[in-house]
């Protein structure tokens, strides 16, 4: 059986920032629905919505107070159903964000849990007595800075939170918690959603003895506090794989649903999340392109290592940006972001695009007084202010970029009057047109979807690879031109797409310009050397 998610490109939407229809400066589900035609025409196959559930929004929806309700900011259940139905009518799939590691402290489960030590839900969260000196039980840090333990005066114990104090961690070793969460999955699967992106899945199981994490000798004081310690005992424990196998059993009762896991771990650990016999996550998110220095030799090696490390039958995936990290155009510049898009959309595996990257949105300045990200508020000097990658989508040159009628919750780019969908739609050389062309080529050429990946030595400064039988990709990851020495059959080929201009056609050059990328189609085998008219 071929799975839709092997062919589809996934498009991540940060719902607060996609399209406002209610007039409050914050995006909503009706807004997403309104833009489905855009997404279909872009050529993606699935959308993933960051959390839309009832939440006090301390971490913008990653703090859920009711897993089965839509937050009124975004709409209601009827609106959700309309969105799901329309998504399917447009031939697209819909993925939700499942946040199982923690709830909001306002979730009724936690309200009960903290009400007394003998409450039946006490053990649904992670409560611990103080250390002998009365301090926190161990040295675990919150991902957003400070101790990961908060003292509860009323019941005389600490509770654990890997993120904000308002995001207490659930105790996944408790079978009732697991059952309750599987019910949540079934609730949405029964409605017809096509799968889930699962938040911080490698955090679900913690060391049963709560041992101290060892220090990280490489830590520098200007880095986030979480990096002071290696996360040896607070995450990535063997038991997590048992949980994932159960999650998988739940979704496998439905037809062809997808589980993607958010995992920031080194490659050798990451690939274990495919599970025994690939019965774990279908796609453990591969964030290497987000994290690696943008240099030819580094990227070439990480692709090779990833391809080699994948278990047999494990399907690859690639991500360039998300709502937690600087956007690709902010990291490498706009010209090189075009090359990066070509890389993302021609590597073997499922690509995930981040909304707004198709317009080349880069870093957006967020004035101090407008900072919303709770992590940036906690650790202003050490953290990346995630607001800068979460700014509103820019649809047109109208006020507020056609995103909203009033000042949006975060600013737009300074150049939104020219950097917007309307403008780029009419320009064949735009970033948007390049994305459309790349996605169209994926549809047209099975080699780009299913073909093997094989590295080509085309010169030291060029990242080149073959996909399947007849396609080659040559990318220049720098601004300097570089010599290009492709195998014979590709020198006879035709250019399907140029990253710099979005054009096709023309012969194969012997040098590749700076910030240039080419997708090349070799002549059919046996046709090489034939005179071309």
Catalytic site positions? 199, 262
Least gap, CB of 111 to ligand NOJ (angstroms): 19
In the bound state with ligand NOJ, the residue whose beta carbon lies nearer, of 51 and 517, is 51
Half-sphere exposure of 380 (CA within 13 A, CB side): 7
Grouping H, G, I as helix, E, B as strand and the rest as coil, residue 512 is: strand
Q: Of these, 6, 19, 35, 59, which contacts ligand NOJ (CB under 6 A)?
A: 59
CA dihedral 325, 329, 332, 334 (to 10 degrees): 180
- Cβ closer to ligand NOJ: 50 or 139? 50
Which residues fall within 8 angstroms of residue 293, CB to CB, at 6 or more apart? none
Angle, alpha carbons 358-465-442 (nearest 5°) = 45
The yes or no reply on residue 516 touching ligand NOJ (CB under 6 A) is: no
Contact letters (x/-) for ligand NOJ, 311-330, by CB under 6 A? ------------xx------
Question: Closest Cα to residue 170, out of 130, 127, 213?
Answer: 127
Q: Residue 515, interface with ligand NOJ (CB under 6 A)?
A: no
Residue 200 in the binding site for ligand NOJ (CB under 6 A): yes
Site string for ligand NOJ, 451-490 (x = CB under 6 A): ----------------------------------------
Q: CA 59 to CA 253: how far, in whole Å?
A: 32
Coil, helix or strand at residue 72: coil
- Residue 279 host element (H or E): none
What is the smallest separation between the CB atom of 284 and ligand NOJ, expressed in angstroms?
Answer: 14
| CA 264 – CA 251 distance, rounded (Å) | 23
Q: Return the number of the residue (321 or 346) whose C-beta is nearest ligand NOJ.
A: 321
Please identify, using beta-carbon distances, which residue of 199 and 447 lies nearer to ligand NOJ: 199
Tokens describing residue 500: 């710099």
> What is the per-residue binding string for ligand NOJ in 76-105, x denoting contact by CB under 6 A?
-----------------------x------
Going by the DSSP 8-state scheme, the letter that residue 130 receives in this structure is P
Single residue of 28, 71, 199, 225 touching ligand NOJ by CB under 6 A = 199
Nearer to ligand NOJ, 161 or 436 (CB): 161
Q: Tell me the backbone φ, ψ of residue 12, rounded to 5 degrees.
A: -85, 130
Give the nearest distance from C-beta 523 to ligand NOJ in angstroms. 45
Q: Which of 62, 285, 354, 445 binds ligand NOJ (CB under 6 A)?
A: 62
Q: Quick check: 163 binds ligand NOJ (CB under 6 A)? A: yes
In the complex, what is the shortest distance from the CB of residue 512 to ligand NOJ, in angstroms, rounded to a whole number? 36
The contact pattern for ligand NOJ, residues 203-242, with x = CB under 6 A and - = no contact, is: ----------------------------------------
Contacts of the segment 346-349: beta carbons below 8 A, 24+ positions apart: 346/438, 346/442, 346/448, 346/467, 346/471, 346/473, 346/519, 347/303, 347/316, 347/318, 347/453, 348/307, 348/316, 348/451, 348/452, 348/453, 348/467, 349/286, 349/315, 349/316, 349/317, 349/318
What is the binding site for ligand NOJ (CB under 6 A)?
Answer: 59, 62, 99, 163, 199-200, 262, 323-324
């Amino acid at each position: 059986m071929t799975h839709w998610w092997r062919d589809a490109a996934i498009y991540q939407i940060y719902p607060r920032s996609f399209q406002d229809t209610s007039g409050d400066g914050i995006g909503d589900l009706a807004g997403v629905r309104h833009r489905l035609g855009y997404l279909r025409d872009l050529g993606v196959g699935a959308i993933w919505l960051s959390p839309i559930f009832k939440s006090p929004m301390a971490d913008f929806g990653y703090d859920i107070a009711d897993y089965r309700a839509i937050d009124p900011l975004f709409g209601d259940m009827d609106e959700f159903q309309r969105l799901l139905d329309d998504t399917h009518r447009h031939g697209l799939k819909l993925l939700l964000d499942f946040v199982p590691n923690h709830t909001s402290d306002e979730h009724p489960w936690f309200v009960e849990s903290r009400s007394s030590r003998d409450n039946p839900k006490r053990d649904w969260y992670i409560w611990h007595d103080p250390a002998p000196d009365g301090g926190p039980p161990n040295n675990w840090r919150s991902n957003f800075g400070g101790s990961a333990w908060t003292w509860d005066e009323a019941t005389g114990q600490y509770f654990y939170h890997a993120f904000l104090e308002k995001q207490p961690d659930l105790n996944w070793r408790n079978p009732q918690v697991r059952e309750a969460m599987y019910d949540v999955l079934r609730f949405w699967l029964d409605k017809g959603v096509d799968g889930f992106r699962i938040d911080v899945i490698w955090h679900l199981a913690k060391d049963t003895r709560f041992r101290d994490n060892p220090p990280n000798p490489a830590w520098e004081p200007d880095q986030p506090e979480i990096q002071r310690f290696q996360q040896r005992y607070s995450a990535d424990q063997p038991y997590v794989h048992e949980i994932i196998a159960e999650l998988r059993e739940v979704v496998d009762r439905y037809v062809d649903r997808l589980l993607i896991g958010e995992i920031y771990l080194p490659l050798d650990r990451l690939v274990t999340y495919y599970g025994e016999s690939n019965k774990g996550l279908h796609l453990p998110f591969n964030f290497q392109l987000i994290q690696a220095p943008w240099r030819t030799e580094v990227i070439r090696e990480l692709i090779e290592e990833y391809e080699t490390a994948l278990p047999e039958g494990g399907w690859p995936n690639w991500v360039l940006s998300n709502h937690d990290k600087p956007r690709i155009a902010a990291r490498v510049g706009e010209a090189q972001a075009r090359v990066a898009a070509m890389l993302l959309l021609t590597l073997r595996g499922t690509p995930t695009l981040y909304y707004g990257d198709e317009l080349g949105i880069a870093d957006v300045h967020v004035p101090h007084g407008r900072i919303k990200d709770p992590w940036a508020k906690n650790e202003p000097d050490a953290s990346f202010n995630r607001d800068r990658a979460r700014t509103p989508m820019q649809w047109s040159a109208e006020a507020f970029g056609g995103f909203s009628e009033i000042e949006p919750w975060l600013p737009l780019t300074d150049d939104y009057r020219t950097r917007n969908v309307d403008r780029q739609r009419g320009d064949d050389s735009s970033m948007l047109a390049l994305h459309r062309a790349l996605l169209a080529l994926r549809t047209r050429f099975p080699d780009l979807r299913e073909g093997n990946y094989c590295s080509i030595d085309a010169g030291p400064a060029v990242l080149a690879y073959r996909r399947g039988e007849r396609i080659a990709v040559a990318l220049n990851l720098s601004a300097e031109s570089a010599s290009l020495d492709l195998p014979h059959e590709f020198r006879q080929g035709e250019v399907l797409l140029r990253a710099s201009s979005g054009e096709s056609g023309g012969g194969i050059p012997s040098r590749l310009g700076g910030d240039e990328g080419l997708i090349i189609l070799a002549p059919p085998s046996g046709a090489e050397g034939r005179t071309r008219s």
